[in-house]
Amino acid sequence: MPTPPYVPPNEMPQVPYSRILEGQKAMITGASKGLGAGIALGFAKAGADVLINYNSDEKGAREIAEEVKRLGQKALVVKANVADEAEVLNMYEAMFDTFGRIDILVANSGIQINAPIDEMTLDQWSTVIDVNLTGQFLVAREAIKAFKRQGIDPSISSSAGKIIHMSSVHDIIPWEGHVNYAASKGGIMLLMKSIAMEVAHLRIRVNAVSPGAIRTPMNVEKITSQDIYEDQLLRLIPYKRIGEPDDVAQATVWLASDASDYVNGTTIYIDGGMTLYPGFIGGG
């Protein structure tokens, strides 16, 4: 029998959700797995109905939709490549046909294609920028149009709409071998802040979450060896545990709710302190 791969323990405290998104309709892009799937479940626990967008993993998206329904909320599964304008417009039509409105957008879809700078092809560069940055622009633009049209309904929320952009600690930490990914995340920061500035007077709130290392399919190779996990990954995390999708979901639910009504144009780092320059611990 081969030894099963190493799995680091889940040390996240289990904090129940309160129903702070009751009655709200949310679109979550890239929700078939990883962070998007975790956020869809968190939103359902907080009382929101959700559109679960996927591009390639239909099975994953349908499984998450079933879980959302088991939690008592409505779920709609829609295939769309967020980098394709026509597909984004179709997804919004599906949102309005089913839910009649949109209150929250979580622009989460993202990919990584790694290569050293002198070997990175234009295609590897463009594909990551298209999905991670242009995709966030396209879905955010359509959300803003809808929020403007809908205005504020105080029985739903104190704001006319909320956007949460999925960024990364690599919006401020440079990442060798990942220049396309880091450039896309750095771009998201000023995309988010500039949209926030433009629409704040309409009571539309736009923020970002920037996770560090989280237990998602993107990070599988970093957590299937105890040596790599403890010697390489935990060295970068002062809090000394990997994050869980629910760590990100909890913060995203709060940012989408009226509990954060005065939070606008900012980024919440969910990283166990990864952005604290951990290389300086005991040195410098």
Q: Is 170 in the site for ligand BGC (CB under 6 A)?
A: yes
- # residues near ligand BGC by CB under 6 A: 8
Q: Smallest distance from the beta carbon of 71 to ligand BGC, in angstroms?
A: 27
- Tell me the three-class secondary structure of 69-105, residue by residue: HHCCCCEEEEECCCCCHHHHHHHHHHHHHHHCCCCEE
Would you count residue 243 as binding ligand BGC (CB under 6 A)?
Answer: no
Is residue 262 part of the annotated active site? The answer reads no
161: left (phi over 0), alpha (psi -120 to 50) or beta: left
Query: Which of 94, 200, 202, 218 contacts ligand BGC by CB under 6 A?
Result: 218
Among residues 204, 213, 251, 253, the one that binds ligand BGC under rule CB under 6 A = 213
Residue from the set 212, 243, 245, 272 that interacts with ligand BGC by CB under 6 A: 212
> How many whole angstroms separate alpha carbon 192 and alpha carbon 206?
6
Q: How far is the CB of 282 from ligand BGC (least distance, A)?
A: 21
CA distances from 195 to 63, 108, 165, 200, 205 (A): 33, 16, 11, 8, 9
Decide if residue 75 touches ligand BGC (CB under 6 A). no
For residue 219, state whether it binds ligand BGC (rule: CB under 6 A): yes
In contact, 94 and 102? CB cutoff 8 Å: no
Choice between 150 and 219, CB closer to ligand BGC: 219
Supply the minimum distance, in Å, between the C-beta of residue 213 and ligand BGC: 4
207 vs 210, beta carbon nearer ligand BGC? 210
CB of 184 to ligand BGC, least distance (A): 10
Phi-psi region of 282 (alpha: psi -120 to 50; beta: other; left: phi over 0): left
Q: How many CA atoms lie within 13 A of 155 on its CB side?
A: 2
Catalytic residue among 17, 54, 92, 181: 181
CA distances in angstroms from 130 to 85, 124, 160, 196, listed in the order given:
11, 10, 28, 21
Residue ranges in 98-137 that form contacts with ligand BGC under rule CB under 6 A: 112
CA–CA separation, 33 and 237 (whole Å): 24
Q: Is 205 in the site for ligand BGC (CB under 6 A)?
A: no
Stretch touching ligand BGC by CB under 6 A, among 118-126, 163-171, 192-200, 201-209: 163-171
C-beta closer to ligand BGC: residue 24 or 132: 132
Strand partners, 26: 50, 104
SS3 label, residue 28: strand
Instruction: Enumerate the active-site residues.
Output: 181
User: Which residues form the interface with ligand BGC (CB under 6 A)?
Assistant: 112, 168-170, 212-213, 218-219
